[in-house]
Structure 1
Amino acid sequence: MGVEQRTARLTVLIDPDKKALFEELCARDDQTPSQVVRRLIRDYIEQKLGQPWTPGQTAATVLGRRRGRGG
């Protein structure tokens, strides 16, 4: 899997208790909350696409290709 080169900010509003628990669970796994969220997003994308995603693939290239197959 390639390394992602750019970053973009995503702001998510959650209740403080849920945030604190999430941060504690991440720390127990020696991961940052950002690492876990990035993995969750990547897994969601791959689940929806039904194929692996690699850095550099954009929505236009991936979804355009899918539409071209009749999807």
Structure 2
Amino acid sequence: MEQKTARLTVLIDPAKKKAFEALCAKQDVTPSQVVRRLIREYLSAHGESFVPSGAEKATGADAQRS
């Protein structure tokens, strides 16, 4: 999971929010987990690459060990 976070504010219809939160609870996931997954899938589907925050440090540490 990403180590650093940034806030994304989304305005949606209150009824959709309630239904979304209820479905997330039923599936034992948080709304944030679902939104993060949707964003990753959307970026991937459109050919956008990204490096998750925190991955730069892991890559650097791995490179130093070699």
Report the TM-score when normalising by structure 1: 0.67
**RMSD (Å), alpha carbons:** 1.9
**Aligned-partner Cα distance in 2 for 1:26–1:11:** 18
Matches within 5 A, 1:1-71: 3-49=1-47, 54-56=51-53
Q: What percentage of aligned pairs have identical amino acids?
A: 61
Task: Give the superposition deviation at 1:24.
Answer: 0.4
Structure 2: gaps (5+ residues): 56-66
**Aligned-partner Cα distance in 1 for 2:18–2:51:** 31
Task: Give the superposition deviation at 1:50.
Answer: 7.0
Query: Highest relative contact order (Cα 8 Å, sep 6+), 1 or 2?
Result: 2
After TM superposition, what 4+ stretches of structure 1 lie above 6 angstroms from structure 2? none
Q: Which has the larger radius of gyration?
A: 2
**Aligned-partner Cα distance in 2 for 1:50–1:10:** 19
Report the TM-score when normalising by structure 2: 0.72
Task: Give the superposition deviation at 1:30.
Answer: 0.1
Structure 1: gaps (5+ residues): 58-71
Secondary structure of the structure 2 residue equivalent to 1:49: coil
